[in-house]
Amino acid sequence: MKVIAVANQKGGCAKTTTVVNLAAGLALRDFSVLVIDLDSQANATNWLAGSVSTPGSWQMLTTREDLASLIVPSSVSGVSLLAGSRELANLEKALAGELSVETLLKRRLAKLGKEAFDYVLIDTPPTLGLITLNALSAAQQLLIPLTTHVMSLSGVAQMFRTVDQVREVLNPDLNILGLVASRVDLRTRHAKDVLSTLSERFGDKLLKSYVYENVRLAEAPSFQQSILTYNPLSTAAQNYRDLADEVVALTSSFN
Ligand SMILES: Nc1ncnc2c1ncn2[C@@H]1O[C@H](COP(=O)(O)OP(=O)(O)OP(=O)(O)O)[C@@H](O)[C@H]1O
Ligand SMILES: [Mg+2]
């Protein structure tokens, strides 16, 4: 089971869009995928399943309920879901007094067994709080989506500092799978400049599969479909199929 956290404390940089469409891309290649929505906004949950009555992630983190019973199917074939819900905003309070709260998700996921899913993708909120730390502790891999604006660069630097701290204290094995440039608009000089800065600074950690700005991606959630079925011939669908193939290749040596 390959566990990938999708995180960046910057809001609106395509974390959820990456999680949902990468999950669909991996499922298209016949991998079984679990999406864990750790965001109290529950955007991935609404996209993948509309309204879900089981607040799966919340119950996983705050009760001893059997984990398998909290997982629900999604509208994307091959993709299962631990749903996000509003309560997640209160997680720190709910866990006050418990020990090692940063590794709760890791310990709960271990109960699923290594073979339960091929890939687990974790969607995180736009903060570096307890929830994102849980995701970084539970994951072997971190995927960082970012938009091609100059402001993104300082955000990524902060993310890398957090990864260093997490490696030191919580999860020495955390690997940065890569940065995925999203909402790329190559008609602007600015986007090209930011891409070349990213490439200079991060070398091959900048993934080859860019995701271009495409309005179809913003429309797809209303239809509870990934871009791969909502508009399979779009550039965006091709971008996410390519991203899935790149992720498969990069993670083939990890278990
Ligand atoms: N390639 C793209 N082209 C056009 N719109 C996009 C693209 N990727 C994402 N979007 C839109 O950008 C907005 C932010 O995307 P998304 O919700 O995935 O970001 P996020 O990082 O999960 O946000 P948050 O930090 O609030 O969780 C959404 O409205 C989404 O539809
Ligand atoms: Mg999101």
Residues with CB under 6 A from ligand 1: 11-17, 39, 41, 43, 126, 182-183, 211, 213-215, 217-218
Domain for residue 100, yes or no? yes
In tens, the pLDDT along 76-95 reads 999 999 999 999 999 999 99
Could you tell me the pLDDT band of residue 114, with boundaries at 50, 70 and 90? confident
DSSP state of 132: H
**Residue 77 belongs to domain spanning:** 2-250
Ligand 1 atom with the shortest distance to the CA of 214: 3
Domain for residue 38, yes or no? yes
In this model, does residue 144 exceed pLDDT 90? yes
Mean pLDDT (whole number) for 191-214: 95
In this model, does residue 254 exceed pLDDT 80? no
Determine contact, residues 105/137, Cβ cutoff 8 Å: yes
The whole-number pLDDT of residue 253 equals: 83
Determine phi and psi for 226, rounding to 5 degrees.
-75, 165
In tens, the pLDDT along 230-239 reads 999 999 999 9
Domain for residue 208, yes or no? yes
Domain for residue 109, yes or no? yes
Q: How many CA atoms lie within 13 A of 229 on its CB side?
A: 15
Domain for residue 221, yes or no? yes
Of all protein residues, the one whose alpha carbon is nearest to atom 11 of ligand 1 is: 218
In this model, does residue 8 exceed pLDDT 80? yes
Domain for residue 193, yes or no? yes
Mean pLDDT (whole number) for 185-214: 94
DSSP state of 86: G
The whole-number pLDDT of residue 210 equals: 96
Percent over 70 (pLDDT), the chain:
100
Give, as residue ranges, everything with CB less than 5 Å from ion ligand 2.
15-16, 43
How far apart are the CA of 254 and the centre of ligand 1, in A? Answer: 28
Of all protein residues, the one whose alpha carbon is nearest to atom 23 of ligand 1 is: 12
In tens, the pLDDT along 148-175 reads 998 899 899 999 999 999 999 999 999 9
In this model, does residue 187 exceed pLDDT 80? yes
- Please report where in the chains the tokens 């687990």 appear, as a residue: 120
In tens, the pLDDT along 18-28 reads 999 999 999 99
- For every residue of 185-242, DSSP letters joined together read -TTSHHHHHHHHHHHHHHGGGB-S---B--HHHHHGGGGT--HHHHSTTSHHHHHHHH
Mutate to test the pocket of ligand 1, among 8, 13, 17, 128 (most ligand atoms within 8 A of CB): 17
Give the count of domains, the chain. Answer: 1
Could you tell me the pLDDT band of residue 53, with boundaries at 50, 70 and 90? confident
The whole-number pLDDT of residue 151 equals: 87
Of all protein residues, the one whose alpha carbon is nearest to atom 15 of ligand 1 is: 14
How far apart are the CA of 13 and the centre of ligand 2, in A? Answer: 8
Is the model's pTM score more than 0.95? yes
Mean pLDDT computed over every residue of the chain: 96
The whole-number pLDDT of residue 255 equals: 63
Determine contact, residues 144/159, Cβ cutoff 8 Å: yes
Mutate to test the pocket of ligand 1, among 16, 39, 40, 43 (most ligand atoms within 8 A of CB): 16
Ligand 1 atom with the shortest distance to the CA of 221: 31
Domain for residue 155, yes or no? yes
Any idea what the CATH number is for the domain that residue 76 is in? 3.40.50.300
Domain for residue 255, yes or no? no
